Structure 1
Amino acid sequence: MDAVPSMTLRLALGLTTALVYSVCQAQAPTLKLLTFESPPYQMVGPGADDSSLVVGETANTVACAANRAGWATRIRIAPQNRAIHSLERKMIDGYFAIDPSSELDTIAKRSDPVALEKWYFFTRDNRPFSRELRIGVVSGSNEEAWLEANGYRIFLSVSSPAQLLALLKRARIDTALMDERVMNRLRQTNDFNDPQLNTHFVRYAPLYLYLSETFTSDNPEFLGAFNRTLTKCMAGQLALSDEEERRIIKLSERLFAELNSILDIRQIIEAGPRQESFTDVMTIDSQWQALSPFQTPDLAEEILALPGSRALHAWQQSHPGLITEVMVVNDMGTLAAISQLTSDYWQGDEPKFQKVMGGSGASATPGQSLFISPIRYDTSAARFQVTVSTAVPSDIGETAEGVIVIGLGIEDALSEYERQ
């Protein structure tokens, strides 16, 4: 008489166990991370303590990419020395957002950049920057490590960016090295709007997530999945300021004028290949993307061998670091000449082509236009860059004959402008 209830009970227990197992399986594993406080990039959330909620652009980027890779995150704030100590002893899974470190490279695996900071020397009274100035920096920061590695003499190290601003106000130091947005936030919250504060661009600083070797060994698929999602998770964060855009426009004007003075771009377009139909373009583009960058497609070999492509390559080589690529595109949106192998053949669906062929974009010179792309990280070159494009005007009508596209290493571009 007890057989049926007993069977029902066993079935119920089995279903409960299966349900609990399914819930446990569905629950994402947790990535344990440390970082340091640096508003607006990473900071303790409102009403939280240093062991709970950490928010900010970089913290959100890391959490987003980890989540897309199938992991939850637990992020805590800690001093840099303690974080490195914890990573060395495998007490945490990872630490961000830091400059490349030869010390950490021996004990951990580095991701693609999770943040891009803009470092400036901030100086009072419009005084030009020189290495002889009394330099202030935050102790244990990425900036301090960079100054030491590059032979700068540090006058004073302090515990927080706010202290640096106070020392600048009291003229206890001549200049402070820090991220532009960190300084802007400090000036707003401390009511320091001195127009005499001078800026000297130093570098774009890509910052990384370091993962312990134990974690990456136990989870070999994670880092690749994390890196692939970073671009989407960083969307909207990598933008040029108005001043930076103005500088890029001025530099690009000079570069386009230089290129046009030594090459006949219309002739390069005429000499390049041209397809008879859009169907042919799409077929070639699919094959091109499937092979590049591991193998050079046959058509790419032909284009690279053209005199125009060789001339573009030589011109790129004459500006090492500054120019990362050059391409000439015909009015169909397909490549007529390239300085190096590209990831695709058809450019007609991209803003760098559509914006200037359609006449929109920032003004470069009368009758022309420029389009500056958002900043993006080029994994193959391991650098951040922008592309700047302009139309190739026709000498017989209003319709442009094509587009010239120049890739610029963003750090080199702004440094180049500073030297002009």
Structure 2
Amino acid sequence: MIRKTIAAAAVLSAVIGFTANATAADYKVALGNLIDSDVRSWAQSDTVVNAIKEQNKSSAALSQADIDAKDKQWRAETKGGDQKMINAVLANSLSAYLKDVKEKSQGKYTEIFVMDMKGLNVGQSDVTSDYWQGDEAKWQKTYGAGPAGVLIDEVEFDDSSQTYQSQVSVAIVDPATKEPIGAVTVGVNVEMLE
């Protein structure tokens, strides 16, 4: 993993024009700019905010045992057979919106998923390996960090797409209260950064 991350940083430097002395912070600046110039605009849309608020109504009452059971069901469905839970999420209007955002990015975004106040998937462009993200930094360091929460992960080589990617995660904020209501994670093909 370390070799892939180091190699990714070297390729990223070359791809987006950094010098040989470029640091890991350079790609984080480029990804930060992408968050500010694009991600926040569609991630704070009424479609995203309203979907999270709606799911938060039912998620608020879930115990950790309920969350674990839902996550276990999701993981089982990713292995095949009946995919009732996965299909329900992929068929909702938020997932349709996220698929459209991904498609319009013309390869810049490799995946997008939105999480609620408990870290549960609300909508997604592609199937995630699990349903509960609440035990992961992508939710803890965004929703859990407050309205300005942002996480930019290391660049890694993704075998499935054969691209160098980073995941960026951002807290989603209720425009009325200015409080976080959920989060979004976006896989970014760093070779397409400007």
TM-score (normalizing by structure 2): 0.80
- Residues 377 and 357 (structure 1 numbering): CA distance in 2 closer, same or farther, change over 3 Å? same
Correspondence for 1:345 = 131
In structure 1, stretches of 5+ residues that fail to align are 1-56, 62-112, 122-128, 130-178, 185-198, 200-239, 361-366
Moved more, 399-408 or 324-333: 399-408
Distance 1:279 1:396 in 2: 32
Q: CA deviation at 1:382?
A: 2.8
Q: CA deviation at 1:114?
A: 9.3
* Aligned residue-pair number: 187
Correspondence for 1:155 = none
Distance 2:86 2:6 in 1: 33
Match 1:328 to one of 108, 111, 114:
114
Q: Deviations over 1:72-116 (max 9, x none)?
A: xxxxxxxxxxxxxxxxxxxxxxxxxxxxxxxxxxxxxxxxx9943
- Residues 285 and 377 (structure 1 numbering): CA distance in 2 closer, same or farther, change over 3 Å? farther
Correspondence for 1:268 = 51
Distance 2:96 2:106 in 1: 16
Cα root mean square deviation, aligned: 3.1
- Residues 374 and 296 (structure 1 numbering): CA distance in 2 closer, same or farther, change over 3 Å? farther
Distance 1:372 1:401 in 2: 19
Q: Which amino acid aligns with 1:388?
A: V
Alignment of 1:393 onto 2:173: yes
3-state DSSP of counterpart to 1:346: coil
**2:43, 2:184 within 8 Å by CA — same for their partners in 1?**
no
Which structure: greater helix fraction? 2
- Residues 327 and 385 (structure 1 numbering): CA distance in 2 closer, same or farther, change over 3 Å? same
In structure 2, stretches of 5+ residues that fail to align are none
Deviation beyond 6 Å, 4+ runs, structure 1: none
Between structure 1 and structure 2, the one with the greater Rg is: 1
- Residues 293 and 250 (structure 1 numbering): CA distance in 2 closer, same or farther, change over 3 Å? farther
Match 1:248 to one of 6, 31, 34:
31
Name the structure, 1 or 2, with higher relative contact order (CA <8 Å, separation 6+).
2
**1:271, 1:336 within 8 Å by CA — same for their partners in 2?**
no
Correspondence for 1:70 = none
Match 2:164 to one of 368, 371, 384:
384
**1:293, 1:343 within 8 Å by CA — same for their partners in 2?**
no
- Residues 251 and 342 (structure 1 numbering): CA distance in 2 closer, same or farther, change over 3 Å? same
Which structure: greater strand fraction? 1
- Residues 295 and 385 (structure 1 numbering): CA distance in 2 closer, same or farther, change over 3 Å? farther
Correspondence for 2:186 = 406
Q: CA deviation at 1:346?
A: 0.2
